[in-house]
Structure formats: structure tokens, C-alpha cells
Copies of this chain bind each other. A is one copy, B any other.
């Protein structure tokens, strides 16, 4: 009733000045430039010949600068104000109120950044990724160092422009997880780090109970691809509205709800990276394809600009909570065995389930197991904090990485390509992004628990290869909203609680106690 009255009021308003429609159309232009930027970036990572970097960096810089100029123009401020009056009283979760709320927040931040800085930063990023890729391939941190120094300086400059109360990190975090502070993230990390360390130590004593030899065999890449695609389709990803390619660093990118691109990378002698990588990106992809049709093409229809924690909660939920569960493999393993009969004939379901759930220190974050993963993030978070204040110099970063890695995991990366050079993020100027991964892990359990509470058949459905009950729940409760909500707004809306680490730790303990002790 409340909503109906509002609807009528807004409809009457829209028959008048239609300021809101003007705002939406204006912001759609901004959005379309964002997508143009994304297509150029996807192409750079998936298709572009190596020599194209310099020109592409300039193209990216132009597009992003014009996007910035368009977004920060006076017309945005004026339309935001006029539209806000027009749709006053619209419910918090309506398309109208959400569009204005999100755009207003981002406008207020964007106007603090000079267009000149935005272009300079974009150009630097555009060049940096290729430098990083080459440095990583050559295991040569020094080749990347000047570029990273420039990028860190730019991020410090950006934090100054945006402003912050306690720590420059707050300014960057606010862009990625609005409303969250560095102190809050630190409290969550400090809260569960001891639990993880204790769990890993307990598992360490039983590590010999489980062997991951089954996944370390020769697996033909074409068959890996076929199997990954088949699971991705079974989860519900629609390949008429998306595709899967290969890139050095796997990612998902959304050009529209009807054009969602996933990438992965294949290892001939290790099944996990492409298999779970594909499921991970599929999780993002389901999210992106599940956006509500009423927000398609609008400023809100942009998964990649929304909360990273919400996004990662879904990639991790499909990759891990579903994709590494015994129930899932009960259904999927016979199919995998059919795909790789020679390799898996003598491996039974239980042995395979345990093989994909081995827990041990690994150098590469994207290959980390569920129990150790958040420690990889906490390590990066702590280094980023020090880089931003200048406490840690880029020149000293490899040594600091290795020292902390040993402290966390008891081992030292044999080479920088397996350590400080492994991630693309810094080369893309994405500082303060890593915490979202850890928060996403926590949320994957928190959301899944709620899904099962609402739809108790979900665990059983998964054992039968029926994923639509979970997908429907997630679409209704999470995906359709696009990026209307901050992570705090969404998690409270859905679970009535703020982000909590307890459900995730409880999930890990239950799962791994069963795997490592009851054998």
C-alpha cells in the first residue's frame, strides 16, 4: 500500500518534468562509456597483440577521461538534485531511489578528482598491466618496480584528493566498499585470523590423511574446457548471453546482463586452476546475468562497479560452498570420470572429494584452499596499509612479502612470480581491493546458510545436479538488485545481520574436521 501510493506519486511526477528520466538517460551515457572502457580492457587481456599496448593505453585514458568529465559535469549535479525532488518518497530499494543514491555517492567522490589526474592514472594503468605481465613471466620484480612505485604514488595522491579521517586506506576502501572502514576490516580480520591459524595447525597434523595426487595428473586441455563448460551450464550460466575465453589472469566482466564474459587458464598437469577457476567466474557470471531487467543498461547495471565483497561472495559460493562440497561431487564425479577415465578409474568419489579439499600452505592465492585463503588476503591487506603510508617502500616489497609469507605459512616463495608478482591487481591500480575477497568468503557461508534456511531442499538438490533452487534464491535475494546496495545494506537486508566471520569459520571447521579426522 505504501509502495502503491509512492508509485502513483512518482508516475504523476514523471508525467511532468521527467527530470528523473533525464538523469537516467544521462547516467546511461556514463555507463555506456564505462562499458566501452571494459570492452577495450577485455580485448587487451584476451586478444590484443602485444605491440598494441601503447595505443590501447591512450584509448583507455581518453574514454575514461571523457567518462569522468561527463559524470562530473554540472549537469549531473543539477539532474541529481531535480530528480531527487521528483521521486522523493520512493522506497529505498526502488530503482529510482537507488539510482540517485548510488550516483550521488559516486558523484560526490568523483568531483574530488581532477580530470587530468584521472587521465594520467588511467594511462599509467593501461601501460602497467603489460609491464607486470612481462615482469611476472620473467620473474623480474625490478622490471615492475618503477611502474608500481608510480602507481602507489598515484594511489596516495588519489587518497589525498578523496580525503579520509584515519588512514589513506579508508579513502580507497570507501570507493570499493562504501561505508566500510579500515578499522572494521581489521577487526573482522583480527577476529578470525587466530581461528584460521588454529584450524590450519590442527589440519596440518592430519595432512597425510588426504592426498591431492588425483588432481595432479595429465589432463587434456580441450577436455578440461568441455567439462568446465558443462558444469558452468548446469549451474545455469547461459552461453547465449556469455562466453568463456583464456587469459593470463582469469576474470569475469559484464558488458550487459546479456553479454557476460568469463576467462580462465588451463594447466595440463593440474586440474584445479581451470576447473575451480571456471566455477568461480561462473559464480560471478550468474550474478551478472541475474541482474533485474528493469535496471538493464542503467547506471546500476554494473556488477564490476558494485561491492567486491558481494561479488566475491557469489563466486566463492559457487566455487567452494557448492563446487567443493561432497554433495556436488556425488553428482559431478561420475561425469568427470567419464571425461578422464584413464586418470580417474582407480580414484573413488571420497578420495577425489578429499583431493580437491586438501589444505596446505600454497604460494598462489587463486590456488589456495578455503582454510588458508583469507590469510593470503590478510597478508596483502597489511602490506597495502604500509605501502600507502610510506612505511614500506616498493623496493623492499619482495622481502617484506616473503618475510610475512613465512610468518603466516611457514614457507617462502621460491621466486617472486610465485610471490609478490602473482596478482594483476596492483598493476591495474586496484589497491584496497583484496579485502573484498576475504569478506566475500565470509559472506559465501552467511548467504548460503540463509538460502538453505529459506529453501531447505537446496543441499539435496545439489546432490542431484539441480542448481536452480539455489540460483533462484540468489537471483531473487541478491542478483536482481544489481548494485543498488552496499555490502552492509544487502547483508542486513537478507540475513538481518552485519558481515560475520563466525558462519564461515563454523563452515570450515565442520567440513575439515570431517575430512581430516574421520577418515
Could you list which residues of chain A lie within 8 angstroms of chain B, going by C-beta atoms? 28-29, 32-33, 35-37, 39-40, 42-43, 47-52, 54-56, 58-59, 61-63, 65-66, 70, 238-243, 245, 255-256, 258-259, 296-297
Contacts and interface: CB of A to CB of B under 8 A. Distances in A.
A63 B40 CA distance: 13
Given A39-B43, A62-B33, A66-B70, A55 B255 contact: yes
A259 B62 contact: no
A40 B36 contact: yes
Contacts of A238: 51
B51 A258 contact: yes
Contacts of A32: 58-59, 61-63
Given A55-B297, A56-B255, A58-B297, A63 B50 contact: no
Given A29-B62, A32-B59, A35-B59, A241 B40 contact: no
Nearest to A260: B49
B33 A63 contact: yes
Contacts of A54: 256, 258, 297
A40 B245 CA distance: 17
Given A36-B40, A39-B59, A49-B259, 9 more contacts: A29-B62, A32-B63, A39-B39, A42-B43, A47-B243, A49-B242, A52-B241, A52-B255, A56-B259
B258 A52 contact: yes
9 A-B pairs with least C-beta separation: A52-B259, A55-B256, A32-B62, A51-B258, A51-B241, A32-B59, A36-B36, A29-B62, A35-B59
Contact of A43 (B43, B49, B56, B241): B43
Tell me the dominant secondary structure on chain A's binding face. helix
Contacts of A56: 255-256, 259
A28 B66 contact: no
Given A43-B43, A66-B29, A36 B51 contact: no
A296 B239 CA distance: 38
Contact of A52 (B63, B65, B256): B256
A66 B51 CA distance: 28
Given A39-B43, A55-B256, A256-B55, A49 B243 contact: yes
Contact of A240 (B29, B35, B43, B51): B51
A195 B52 CA distance: 45
A191 to B, nearest CB: 41
A455 B328 CA distance: 70
Looking at A258, A296, A297, which has the most chain B CB atoms within 10 Å of its CB?
Answer: A258
B240 A50 contact: yes
Given A28-B58, A32-B59, A56-B259, A49 B241 contact: yes
Contacts of A42: 43
Nearest to A41: B39
Nearest to A30: B62
Contacts of A29: 62, 65-66
Given A49-B240, A63-B33, A259 B40 contact: no
10 contacts: A28-B58, A29-B65, A36-B40, A39-B59, A42-B43, A48-B259, A49-B241, A49-B258, A56-B256, A66-B66
A28 B245 CA distance: 31
A52 B38 CA distance: 14
A294 to B, nearest CB: 14
Nearest to A238: B51
A48 B241 CA distance: 9
A297 B255 CA distance: 26
A39 B239 CA distance: 22
A392 B209 CA distance: 81
A466 to B, nearest CB: 25
A258 B53 CA distance: 8
A33 B255 contact: no
A253 to B, nearest CB: 12
Contact of A66 (B33, B256, B258): B33
A445 to B, nearest CB: 32
Contact of A63 (B36, B255, B259): B36
